[in-house]
Amino acid sequence: MKTAFPEGFLWGGAVAANQCEGAWLEDGKLPNVTDVMVGIGTDGKHPGVKWNDETGKWEMALKDGKKYLSHEAIDLYHRYPEDLKLMGGMGFKAFRTSIAWSRIFPRGDEEEPNEAGLVYYDKLFDEMLKNGMQPVVTLSHYETPLYLVTEYGGWKNRKLITFFERYARTVFERYKDKVKYWMTFNEINVAFRMPFAGAGILSDNPESPVEALTKKEIYQAVHHEFVASSLAVKACHEIIPDAKIGAMLTCSSVATYPYTCSPEDAFGTLSYKRQTYFFGDVMCRGYYPAYIYRVWEEEDCAPVMEQGDDEILACYPVDYLAFSYYRSGVWHEAEEKDKVSEGSVTSGSGTGFTNPYLTECSPAPWCWPVDPKGLRYTCNELYDRYQIPLFIVENGIGLDEGPDENGVINDPVRTKYLEDHLRQVAEALKDGCDIMGYLWWGPIDVVSAGTGEMKKRYGFVYVDRNNDGEGTLARSKKVSYERYKEIIESNGAAL
């Protein structure tokens, strides 16, 4: 059987420490930013922090009556041998997770790492390798240590570059023989839409932790992240010469289509897409794109840069571009431009207008439009623009499901989503796009990042836990499990 997928294609799945590990304060770990939010979408703008008048600083203040499901999550921290065996059972070649930065440097500013945290990831990566999977590791998946935010102001503060570089060098040294695929910041381009989760920053306004942040502050934080990311690329190449390190962006917004063929909608779409490209342009090309200088000048929001920063960006661009893709969007200039002028660079996937040409969407209340061809479109756009390898590190559909009376979890919608998207990946490969691999988001049910629910399930493996936090945590295979296995076994020929 013929397949478009190259030999060595990295088939697999992806999760993030904060959505699956649980054990949020175990073995020396301290909170990170996502630990004080139920969901980054639901209370990202009003996280569990309060202003302390005496110290003049923010401090953690979890909200009464809220369920922070991620604190225990699916307890992967203790159950990883069983879980990784299940992943290996599908024939995964790669498994993506993040290192929880605050397991390694609990506050974030220590000189020495926490050995217990390092030991945990040693065991986790060994187990992945034992089950035939290459670890693919994100250095921070919305996981800035909270202490760095409350004490230092998060990424607004240039000191975080030093702390991040120390952390990156520590884990590169420790795992250099085990991990050959790295990424710096998960979905770095959400910084404007979700500044606390994405860029680990809070305002200095006691009334408004997030909404009072200025654009200038966000550009500043992002600039620091860019420099930190480049220094991590440098360190990775020095310490692990045979490793690859990438940028990671949410690229659902790359598949944004003009609502009409009016030049207004066409240019509006371009401007909207630039809110995502901005991040790729700096990290893949190594310099700020021309169009951003106009924004900085007109809106007086240019970040302060130090001498030598441009050289760091230029010398250490990323090796590949990793991205998530879930859905496409529609841009209607007349309706959307007000929202844009409020938020200028508000990247991520705007919901936009309903696309009448798309007939499927994920179930309510999430309602994400399903657009497999949008994935081919995205691959082509990104490859045309950057000409570096692409890595699809998140794609999937969240469904509310459970076992039927016979204990079977039948999920044909997930299987169809998987097949339809993979067929479009095959098309993109035929188009000439260089794609390293495809990782399904949440191959085992995890806590949703956006809403903090268990109910929004992406897995081929079901986890018995509900939105109230009840359940045995037992794992069981859904029907889609065998189909993904078959596709992987045939290297895509069975599609």
Contact status, residue 251 vs residue 378, Cβ threshold 8 Å: yes
Does 279 engage in binding with ligand BGP (CB under 6 A)? no
For residue 199, how many other CB atoms are within 10 A of its CB?
29
336 binds ligand BGP per the rule CB under 6 A: no
Q: Which is nearer to ligand BGP, 73 or 313 (CB)?
A: 73
363 binds ligand BGP (CB under 6 A): no
Q: Give the residue, chosen from 165, 187, 319, 427, that forms a contact with ligand BGP under the rule CB under 6 A.
A: 187
Question: Binding segment for ligand BGP among 53-61, 266-274, 443-451, 468-476 (CB under 6 A)?
Answer: 443-451
* Structure token digits, residue 445: 């049910």
Taking alpha carbons only, the member of 320, 349, 162 closest to residue 250 is 349
Site size toward ligand BGP, by CB under 6 A:
14
Q: Is 346 in the site for ligand BGP (CB under 6 A)?
A: no
Options 43, 333, 336, 394; binder of ligand BGP; rule CB under 6 A: 394
Cα 180 to Cα 45, 173, 241, 242, 260, distances in angstroms: 35, 12, 9, 7, 44
Chosen residue from 456, 475, 478, 483 binding ligand BGP by CB under 6 A:
456
Closest contact distance (angstroms) between CB of 456 and ligand BGP is 5
Q: Does residue 392 bind ligand BGP (CB under 6 A)?
A: no
C-beta of 426 vs 444, nearer to ligand BGP: 444
Task: State yes or no: residue 269 binds ligand BGP (CB under 6 A).
Answer: no
Cα–Cα distance, 6 to 124 (Å, whole number): 28
Q: With CB under 6 A as the contact rule, which of the stretches 56-64, 268-276, 445-453, 470-478 interacts with ligand BGP? A: 445-453
Residue 337 burial class via C-beta count within 10 angstroms: exposed 0-12, middle 13-18, buried 19 and up: middle
Catalytic pick among 394, 401, 427, 453: 394
Q: Which is nearer to ligand BGP, 146 or 429 (CB)?
A: 146
Shortest Å, Cβ 252 to ligand BGP: 8
486 in catalytic set: no
Which positions from 229 through 258 interact with ligand BGP, judged by CB under 6 A? 250
Q: What's 35's DSSP letter?
A: G
DSSP string, 241-271: TT-EEEEEEE-GGGSEEESSS-HHHHHHHHH
Helices (H), 96-143: 101-104, 115-130
Q: 3-state class of 33 per DSSP?
A: helix
Active-site residue identified among 21, 187, 217, 401: 187
Q: Are 135 and 181 in contact (CB under 8 A)?
A: yes
Q: What is the DSSP string of 308-331?
A: THHHHHHH---SEEEEE----EEE
Q: What six digits make up the tokens of 400?
A: 């509310």
Mark 391-420 as b/e (b = at least 16 C-beta within 10 Å).
bbbbbbbbbebeeeeeeebebebbbbbbbb
> Does 450 participate in binding ligand BGP (rule CB under 6 A)?
yes
- Identify which range of 96-104, 123-131, 150-158, 449-457 contacts ligand BGP by CB under 6 A: 449-457
Amino acid at 299: E
At closest approach, how far in Å is the CB of 39 from ligand BGP?
7
Scan residues 207-226 and list those touching ligand BGP (CB under 6 A). none
Active-site annotation holds for 211 = no
The residue ranges that bind ligand BGP (CB under 6 A) are 16, 19, 186-187, 250, 324, 394, 398, 441, 448-451, 456
Active site residue ranges: 187, 394
